[in-house]
Amino acid sequence: MREHGLSDTKKSLQTTLIHSDYMAPGGFAAFPTAIHHASTVVFPDVAALRSRNWQDKSAYTYGLHGTPTSFTLEARLAELEEGKHCVLAPSGLAAIALADFALLKSGDDVLIPDNVYSPSRELGNWLGRDFGVTARYYDPLIGAGIAGLIQPNTRLIWTEAPGSVSMEVPDLPAICRAAHDKGVPVALDNTWSAGIALRAFDLGVDIVMQALTKYQSGGSDVLMGALITRDTALHRKLEAAHMRLGYGIGMDDAYLVLRNLPTLKLRFAAHDAGARKVAAWLKARPEIDCVLHPALPDCPGHENWKRDFSGAGGLFSIIFNRRYSEEQTDRFVDSLKLFKIGFSWGGPHSLCVPYRMPAMRSNWPHPGQLVRLNIGLEEPDDLIADLEQALRAL
């Protein structure tokens, strides 16, 4: 057995504090993925330094390009979506921006659904204003009709299934067929399904985006995003932009996502069951005109959900009868006790946010107020009781 503190060559205390001779024994076996922090990666010799390529995932080059912790998370997310490659980004929005900057240049055109996650719309508008890219917004229920919008300079089509406030479920196979006929890749914001309830690549999607901030991390404590692909050439483009933009992620955060992946499917099933129970209860209430939950016929694109999805997320929206003013529905939201007011979703806590839809969407058809609910992991009957008392405050 090697004894501590006995070095072959004598070093000063200060140097010893930096260069220790101790090496932990190999062969440690446990379930958690180790958290490997690094900016500098140490090469055994100059030949290794010269021969390694940052894109080659069989070796390490620099912390920005990954450590065993982030390599493991990338591989596990690719497995989950049945893709081949994955790049990680510091947030879901950063992942969306990464795809845009990787695939679009001045003079190009991008098609974005009109119900898109609103910061993504903000990004599209910025690309239009300052980067010479045209961002055009399409009716999320356009389906095969998207063929008529694709121009020779269209380089990317974004989809989101469903849109995260107004909840329309697009016809993904039809959009993908039309896009591929013209050689345009399709990216999907697949956050709502967590990669559990939708097999995106089987439907023809080329790039799957996940806001890991939501279900994958599951604790309302991490921001992270991912872009997953099957096509290696497409992955190379995303990876090159990732390197050029310097999109590092923290390994402690990667660990938190890895820690919660084993329970993802079970948590998702619980969110799904709770949300359907609450949605069904709300549907029967006279105060509510529409429940925009993809598993209910009220939701535009419900047929697409039935055909393509094997489950539903915990996020849906309700539309109040038009006799209730914004002041009244705000009072409803303020009266909720278990549902907290806040953005994001996918954690154990139920959340709600009122949205002013006419300002967000062109041709919004509903005159009543919209409130979005995220059903957490509380007992659904307790959530229903909370909604019931808040409805009395209307």
Ligand X SMILES: *Cc1c(COP(=O)(O)O)cnc(C)c1O
**What residues line the site for ligand X (CB under 6 A)?**
91-93, 117, 160, 164, 189, 191, 211, 213-214, 223, 225, 344
Phi-psi region of 194 (alpha: psi -120 to 50; beta: other; left: phi over 0): left
Dihedral sign of CA atoms 154, 158, 163, 169 in order: positive
Nearer to ligand X, 33 or 213 (CB): 213
How distant, in Å, are the alpha carbons of 5, 127, 387 from that of 21?
8, 53, 62
Nearer to ligand X, 117 or 324 (CB): 117
Whats the size of the chain, residue-wise? 394
CB of 210 to ligand X, least distance (A): 9
d(CA 2, CA 348): 48
CB of 247 to ligand X, least distance (A): 13
Residue 370 and residue 354 in contact, taking contact as beta carbons nearer than 8 Å: yes
d(CA 138, CA 132): 19
Nearer to ligand X, 154 or 193 (CB): 193
CB of 284 to ligand X, least distance (A): 28
CB of 106 to ligand X, least distance (A): 25
Q: Would you tell me how many other CB atoms lie within 10 Å of the CB of residue 392?
A: 9
Nearer to ligand X, 16 or 118 (CB): 118
CB of 308 to ligand X, least distance (A): 17
CB of 50 to ligand X, least distance (A): 37
> Hey, which residues does 210 pair with through a beta bridge?
226
Nearer to ligand X, 189 or 287 (CB): 189
d(CA 305, CA 171): 9
Nearer to ligand X, 117 or 320 (CB): 117
Beta strands of 173-257 (E only): which ranges? 186-189, 207-211, 225-229
DSSP string computed for 262-314 = GGHHHHHHHHHHHHHHHHHHHHT-TTEEEEE-TTSTTSTTHHHHHHHBS---S
CB of 252 to ligand X, least distance (A): 16
Residue 208 and residue 197 in contact, taking contact as beta carbons nearer than 8 Å: no
* Sheet of 186-189, strands arranged across: 85-89, 225-229, 207-211, 186-189, 154-160, 109-113, 134-138
Nearer to ligand X, 221 or 334 (CB): 221
d(CA 374, CA 316): 7
CB of 112 to ligand X, least distance (A): 12
Nearer to ligand X, 41 or 197 (CB): 197
Q: Which residue is nearest to ligand X (CB)?
A: 92
